[in-house]
Structure 1
Amino acid sequence: MKSLRIGLLGLGTVGAGLVQMASGDGPLSTIIEIVGVSARNRNAARPVDISKYEWFDDPCALAANPNIDVLVELIGGANGKAKEAALIALQNKKHVVTANKAMLAEHGVELAQIAAQNGVEIRYEAAVAGGIPIVKALREGLAANKINSIMGVMNGTSNYILTEMQKSGREFASVLADAQRLGLAEADPTLDISGGDAGHKLAILSALAFSGAPDYAAISLEGIEEIEPVDLETAQFLGYAIKLIASAQAHDGKLRQSVRPTLVKLNNPIAQVDGATNAVLVNADPVGTLTFIGSGAGAGPTASAVAADLMDLAHGDARPVFSGPCIGREVFETADKNSLAAKFYVRFRVADKPGVIAKISDTLARHQVSIESFLQKPPPSTQNVAIVLTTQICNEDVLIDALHELSGLDEFVDKPLIMPLHD
């Protein structure tokens, strides 16, 4: 095992956590030496002492420093200084360890090519699901398996919001505001609540399992903004929990990748994952279904993942950036966005008038969509009524056509909400 000289870019929660590990009495402290650091504000209050490390105002100067072996990039963002510094480090034959899922999801192919040209490694365990070693599991432990599907809860902020809405019965906006006050949601939470953050993580896992190259643009994204308390209450009555599910599934030569709210059967381990916890289910041959559950963010879990990558580099472990079960697999086509065949949950907002249910039933029947269950919630102070139904297995594009027809009728107030059911 060799000692590594580290340039640390970013001294936020995770960066400070890594400094604590490197300064402690654990295994990491024996194999790395932090040579230089860089962050936005040199004088910011921090829980660790950085006075003994050389300070770099320019992240790119740190990346090019001849005295480092590894650049640890923890500032985030798909572009800007993070990507620029990573490129400089790779071009100067330095390994890169990063927690930056956006950069890898959107520029992973370019970065991997430069790493290969210069004979260096990119390590990114911390980029997906924090302390859960899912990247290592796919790259190494499951490398000889055929992956059939990956699904999971990969964004702690959205899962916390849905959990609190379920427990309290409060509206989305109220719970989001609380999460922001508690520091569990960003001031601009768009990436978390719209599915973008989970999409970045899914792009990385899907590359390892299926394609060998992240393709963020191929992932269909839907967020949790339209979920209402009535949806969570009804889902629980039906025996399900609503989760923002990131999913990649290969079938008949096509790869379907999506992030969307989904009703998950309560006996599924993912349905039991509450708060900011992450969970990933991998179905593979011959191993079967594996479940990974743990903390998806925070100083300890994420710094632990960064440290694990550094330990591997110290041991001389080397492999292509996106190697794993994807090696030797067929080239997949991207499945059409609305081609999913499943049972679906549909919630309408309608005016409280006679004949509405009959119109819904007749329209769905004409489109060959069979109804499995029908529920109507009594109207609150307004005259709008929530009508919920679940379908039998049908093609989503057919269901969408039927709902588009219904949406043109005067009785229908809002666009219907559609979510798949997963047992």
Structure 2
Amino acid sequence: MRIDPQRLGSAAFRAAHNARAAYVLGGMVKGISSVELVRTAARAGYLAFFGAGGLKPERVREAVAALRDDPGPAAPWGVNFLHNALIPGQEDALAEVLLAGGVRCIEASAFVRITPALVRYRLHGLGFAADGRPVPHQRILAKVSHPGMARRFMLPPPPEIVADLRAANRLTAVEAEAAAALPLADDICAEADSGGHTDRRPAFALIPAFLRLRDETARAHPHLSPPRIGAAGGIGAPEAVAAAFVLGADFVLTGSINQCTPEAGTSDAVKDLLAAAEAQDFDMAPAGDLFEIGAKVQVLKRGTLFAARANRLFELYRAHASLEDLPPEVLAELETRVFGRDLDAVWRETADYYRQAAPHVLADLGPKQRMAMVFRWYFIHSQRLAQQGDLAGRVNFQIHCGPAMAACNRWLAGTPWADWRTRHVDTLADQLLAGAAEVLARRYADFGAA
């Protein structure tokens, strides 16, 4: 028995995205999902998203221009659209860049609420089929882990946001009127236990729940096109890909395993650490962008002290009212062993940034909020150290990843792809899908024999 790897998953997904397989490479912040990574994947027919999170609009604009040139606008690629709870205006700026650049698809991730920028992107320039049905010009693939958030993407954009955008002349009357006739997202990816932002939900529970929620929503709103449901989180070996499709996923999405490839926009030092990772080498730490609410990210523990130090900062934040409230010995420890500089200097650098980027954030700032902003600097700094491969700061490397990386390493041990320098993203995708097809063919043959 033979199964064609390219026929796994949804044919409608492949057709909608002009992709040859129902396989997606998710976006990773600050260009770790680089232009070269996206270009290599898209040339091979795989949908891939550029990692725009944390980048200035000019950088995103340059990346979009490069991708429109090669592999071209018809190829399967898009841009990650990361929720920005701290500075919502940056979402608006990103939406402007993407619309002006003709980006036809985004990966909406880490959203805790639907925002005007997301709605405007979705509705801008929509057309109509011959039967009068609205046809969006832009597609959204939403990556979520909470069923409540998934349902919001399955429904039309919130009417109050649509009304506000129309009142501000940011939508035409036609766009606003048609909003109620289409779901916010075309595709929704159930993000299970993953690297980076994660609720660590098990895929075997999350994917069936999302599929049933999609079907319930479709019965309640028969005029809406039901979104396709994908699977992400923990996918690093062929067996995991096969399991996702058996559970009913329309597509699979890989994330942090793609950091350990030649095309990824991170340092060789990070890739060396990831290539040696085993299942026990990961831990949870506070998320820098959602520090105050206690959101978590999954990170590599082996070879770094980031997780321990980040968790210590969150404990101090919860226990103290201000930086001035910290005991002198704790303050000295932070400055010498964690930050590597005077915290007053960290605050000056942080305040200078916000005066330029979002001066309103500094208005009426209390001592507790000031402490959070200073602590958040460490998270930005630790990501930068890792991406640049600054070996002097290796103990502070922040590397978003999960056990899928260990599964990938174990699977590829003893093969030509054991060395990350040979793990090109398109080859990795090919091998995962081919391996999944072999797994399924063997299992189905066994069932037939029984």
Give the TM-score normalised by the residue count of structure 2. 0.29
Larger strand proportion, structure 1 or 2?
A: 1
Instruction: Find the structure with the greater CA-based Rg.
Output: 1
